[in-house]
Amino acid sequence: MTPIVVDATRPAPAAAREMQWTQPHWSRPEWELHEGEKLWVTLRRVHWYGGTLLAHIEGTEWHCMRHDLAELRLIRPGADQPEMSIRPYWWPSDEDTERLRLSRWRGDAPIERADGRRWFWRQHGFWRNRYWEVLDEKECAIVMIRRRRRVFRIEGMASFGAGVPLEDGLHAAVFGWYLLLREAARRHHAAAAGAG
């Protein structure tokens, strides 16, 4: 992979693994994450009208869903605590209130992990050069995600950072893709409301 440099002060990391997000059929809200011929993840919308996505990551079932009106989660069915969660900038918080107030889902927001680690969701670039990253506490990329423009399909690429454990990379890729799909749906609804 050729590194993508958007911010001259911080080049994109060299990828250790590259995987492709594909949408097998344009009319179905289903996606697959492939590394060559190997299928790692399937992701599908539970209902056309709902925001919950069902993910199968290496044979384990996960839900990507909204909780308490605003918090977005990656959680196993029946679990008490999510594996990953993110709150919008306006959601009340005891800690990091100022950071949350200044951040946006599309910009820079903390991702809380069940094991106590904190990752960050960050957007880089503008328009066609835009990409998103999930970063760890040291600002090292866990996964970089780029959307690919295709007619009637939402597809893209996920590049894992060097030395990232496969499980962390897959969870970050699924949660990041879920956030991108939510943003795409929000933009679509805003455009439809503006046209009507």
**63-77: pLDDT as tens digits:** 998 887 678 899 999
User: Which DSSP string corresponds to the chain?
Assistant: -PPP-SBTTBPPPPEEEEEEEE-SSTTS-EEEEEETTEEEEEEEESSTT---EEEEETTEEEEEEEETTTEEEEE-TT-SS-SEEE--TTS--SSSHHHHHH--TTSEEEEEETTS-EEEEEEES-GGG-EEEEE-TTS-EEEEEEEEEETTEEEEEEEEETT--HHHHHHHHHHHHHHHHHHHHHHHHHHHHHH-
Residues 79-97 pLDDT 10s: 988 999 987 655 555 555 4
Residues 12-62 pLDDT 10s: 445 579 999 999 998 888 999 999 999 999 999 887 666 789 999 998 999
User: Pairing state of beta strands 108-113 and 60-67?
Assistant: unpaired
Is 67 in contact with 51 (CB distance < 8 Å)? no
pLDDT at 88: 64
**What pTM value is reported for the model?**
0.79
Residue spans per domain, the chain: 15-191
Residues 136-154 pLDDT 10s: 999 899 999 988 877 788 8
Residue 169 CA to residue 153 CA, distance in Å, equals 24
Task: List the beta bridge partners of residue 122.
Answer: 108, 133
Distances (CA, A) of 100 to 20, 96, 137: 31, 6, 16
Residue 43 CA to residue 31 CA, distance in Å, equals 5
Q: Which of 43, 47, 46 is nearest to 31 (CA)?
A: 43
| CATH code of domain 15-191 | 2.40.160.200
pLDDT at 4 over 50: no
Model confidence at 10, pLDDT cuts 50, 70, 90, reads: very low
Tokens of 27: 């009319």
Contacts 24+ apart (CB under 8 A), 47-55: 51/182, 51/185, 53/178, 53/181, 55/174
